[in-house]
A and B are shown apart, each in its own frame.
Chain A
Amino acid sequence: MSPTDDSFADHRAAWGLIPWVVNGTADEAARALLTTHLAACPDCAAEYQLQSKLRVAIRKSEPPPADATSAYSRLRQRLDDETTGQMPAHRAWSGGARLLVAMVVLEAVSIVALSGVLWVRGSHDNPAVYRTLGSGETVPRPATIRAVLDPALNLQGMQELLNGFKLQIVAGPTDAGVYSLAPADPARLGDTAQIVAALRSHAGVRFAEPIEATSSKP
């Protein structure tokens, strides 16, 4: 390689380093190499000046107007909807995808309805015992405890807390985040005071109180 080639390669390398030295992210060796080169190369020195001006201009340019508060309130609503299961997992589905899903759901509902009619007709003479998952308890269990959980508690933490105390959610959360709870074992309905005391000492519980027997609202 001739000295001219070496010089050209150095010039190319230095020219490529300029943006990263200008923005302060190049390492010490790169900065030293460029500094040496700039002292001898007017073209690169001019380019360094130009890129520095460009950086200043970009950093001073105005961002578009935007409202963080209203934007966050929309995102919070989206998260709330997801938490309460009122919304599909992602709203970015196209209209075509939504239409396809609607058609599939409609078809599934039709099949289920038709199956139900056929089953009812076929079972009239010999009725079978048919139980759904929810048919085990026809009488709703009364809530015995009101509790507000720490908002930082995630789903797994909440499950561990409830399983630890052998409690079930009867209702809630309300707008204020209040859950109505009851012991999973009806035999423990009389242990409400002890359970409330234990809940109050748990780090994941902000508030807990027994529910009067006459009240069943969360």
Chain B
Amino acid sequence: MRATVVTPAGFDPAPVPDSHREVALLRLVAAGDRRAFEDLYSGYFGRLNRFLGRLTRRTEIIEETINDTFWVVWQKAGDFRGQSLVSTWIIGIAYRCALKALRRNAGASSAASFEPEEIGYEPGVAREREDWLGQGLKHLPLEQRSTLELAYYVGHSCEEIAQIMECSVGTVKARMFHARVKLRNLLPELAGPPKVEQQ
């Protein structure tokens, strides 16, 4: 039997940051330009909110982490040497700030915060999708969840994720491997639409 070959051409591209503009903004930030700083903040707020929302659902922790991240960006912008993408650098800072914030708020975040009653979304299809996806993802360790989010939402390569998470490429591959194996069992919805129950 020949399998159907599927190519990724049919998917929406991952959000690609305008790296030249971001490097220019970061240089202005390094010179103390508040307007450039605000531009950079605005451009990243949604992306970081989305990424951090996979680690905790508590809005106050997410906003605090985003502000901690940009506090570091404000102070360290002059140290950026262009050895990675600006997005990789900023999301790496956010990841480390998130780990610290989650440790500070241990017990009130992470997996427990994925309980449906805390999500507070609009009811409907999105809520249902969020429920089964969130329920599946909450069983993954934070590192595996982050790896999936960075690969599938943010669209980072394996090497970029290794930079962000400060680990080896092999570790990223291993985390992705284990996340996939667990989700195969946890998310039957992924295999197809639910079967119609017989009356």
Residue of A at shortest CB range from B67? A75
Q: Among the interface residues A25, A41, A61, A72, which one has the most CB atoms of the partner chain B within 10 A?
A: A61
CA distance A58 to B129 in the complex (A): 9
B50 adjacent to A63 (CB under 8 Å)? yes
Chain A residues in 8 Å Cβ range of B171: none
Given contacts A22-B8, A39-B5, contact A64 B177 (CB under 8 A): no
> Hey, which chain B residues are within 8 Å of A47, CB to CB?
180
Complex Cα distance, B2 from A39, in Å, reads: 6
Structural contact, A45 and B3, CB atoms closer than 8 A: yes
Q: Which residues of A contact B184 (CB under 8 A)?
A: 50
A155 to B127, CA, bound (A): 49
Judge if B178 is at the interface, Cβ distance under 8 Å: no
Give Cα A23–Cα B160 distance, bound, in whole angstroms: 13
Q: A19, A26, A56 — which one has the most chain B CB atoms within 10 A of its CB?
A: A19
Assess the B155–A66 pair: CB atoms within 8 A. no
Partner of B35, one of A62, A92, A151: A151
Decide if A152 touches B12 in the complex (CB within 8 Å).
no
Bits for A37-66, please: 1 = Cβ < 8 Å to B, else 0. 011111011111111111111111111111
- The answer to whether B33 and A48 have CB atoms under 8 Å apart is no
Q: A24-B11, A35-B5 are in contact. Are A57 and B63 (CB under 8 A)?
A: no
Chain B 7-42 residues near chain A, CB threshold 8 A:
7-8, 11-14, 28, 31-35, 38, 41-42
Q: Are B31 and A152 in contact (CB under 8 A)?
A: yes
User: For this complex, into which size category does the number of interface residues on chain B fall?
Assistant: 35 or more
In the complex formed, the residue of B with least CB distance to A25 is B157
Residues of B within 8 A of A97 (CB): none
Contact with B along A67-89 (1 / 0, CB 8 A): 11011101110110000000000
Q: Are B1 and A42 in contact (CB under 8 A)?
A: yes
Judged by a CB distance under 8 angstroms, whether A104 is at the interface is: no
Taking the closest CB of chain B, its distance from the CB of A26, in whole angstroms, is 8
Q: CB distance B71 to A75 under 8 Å?
A: yes
CB-based closest 10 A-B pairs: A45-B3, A154-B32, A25-B157, A55-B152, A64-B53, A71-B63, A63-B50, A68-B45, A42-B3, A75-B67
Chain B contacts to A: CB under 8 angstroms: 1-8, 11-14, 28, 31-35, 38, 41-42, 45-46, 49-50, 53, 57, 59, 62-63, 66-68, 70-71, 74, 100, 104, 119-122, 126-127, 129-130, 133-134, 148-149, 151-153, 155-158, 160, 173, 176-177, 180, 183-184, 187, 190-191
User: Mind listing 23 A-B residue pairs with CB under 8 Å?
Assistant: A23-B14, A24-B11, A24-B14, A25-B158, A25-B160, A39-B3, A49-B6, A55-B11, A55-B152, A63-B53, A64-B53, A66-B49, A66-B59, A68-B41, A72-B41, A72-B42, A75-B41, A75-B71, A76-B34, A79-B74, A152-B32, A157-B31, A157-B32
Q: A50-B184, A62-B126 are in contact. List 4 more A-B contacts (CB 8 A).
A: A39-B5, A64-B53, A72-B42, A79-B74
